Amino acid sequence: MRTLKITLLMLVVVLSTSVNAQKSVKVGHINSNDLLTAMPERTAVQKELEDYANQLKITLDAMRKEYETKVAEFQGKQDVMTDIIKNNKIKEITDLEKRITEFQQTAEADLQKKEQSLLQPIIDKAKNAINEVAKEGSFTYILDSSVGVVLYSVESDDILPLVKKKLGL
């Protein structure tokens, strides 16, 4: 009787293990760059970023022009300047150089922050659509083929058309 119980228990364990082992893995892939490029919101964000970058460039160009003017003026008149005036002009030019460098660094960081804040809602929308398609299609894994991390894969389903459909693209 005891051996029968042990045999039945072993049989249940083996059967449950084989059922779990037979569970299929469904893998899909998507090129997230292609998806983001296809989204119409991306064009508006790109335009806004270009406008913002142009505003920063105009300010930087004005600062550089002011710098070049001051340097040319200094070089043209330095022979007739007293030492006090010469040192004062050199300090002005050096301070302007420093302001230009600081502005460049701040502008780059600010542009990156603005890009992140504008793109994040689009990325979230795409991610949500990918998650919904993955759940609807019973996918186990979805790989992003745009980052090139997957070196080898067996044939998988490209879910880009499904996600585009989900987003109405």
The DSSP annotation for 55-83 comes to HHHHHHHHHHHHHHHHHHHHHHHGGGS-H
Mean pLDDT calculated for residue range 117-121: 94
Mean pLDDT of all residues belonging to the chain:
83
The CA distances from residue 122 to 33, 117, 126, in Å, are 12, 10, 6
Residue 76 lies in a domain: yes
Predicted local distance difference test score (pLDDT) of residue 141: 81
Q: Does residue 20 register a pLDDT over 80?
A: no
Is 36 among the domain residues?
yes
Q: Within a 10 A sphere around the Cβ of 162, how many other Cβ atoms?
A: 20
Residue 21: is its pLDDT beyond 80? no
pLDDT number for residue 2: 53
Residue 12: the pLDDT is: 53
In a domain, 5, yes or no: no
The CATH number of whichever domain residue 79 belongs to comes to 3.30.910.20
Number of domains in the chain: 1
0.75 surpassed by pTM: no
Q: Is residue 11 part of a domain?
A: no
Note whether residue 73 is domain-resident. Answer: yes
Q: Give CB contacts under 8 A, 24+ apart, made by 96-99.
A: 96/63, 96/66, 96/67, 96/70, 97/67, 99/63
**Residue 159: inside a domain:** yes
- Domain span at residue 97 reads 25-167
- Evaluate whether residue 145 is within a structural domain: yes
**12, exposed or middle or buried, with CB in 10 Å at 0-12, 13-18, 19+?**
exposed
Question: Does residue 41 lie in a domain region?
Answer: yes
Residue type at 103 in one-letter notation: F
Q: What is the pLDDT of residues 43-73, one digit of tens each?
A: 999 999 999 999 999 999 999 999 999 999 9
pLDDT of residue 150: 56
Mean pLDDT of 89-116: 95
Can you give the length of the chain in residues? 169
> What does the pLDDT read at residue 155?
67
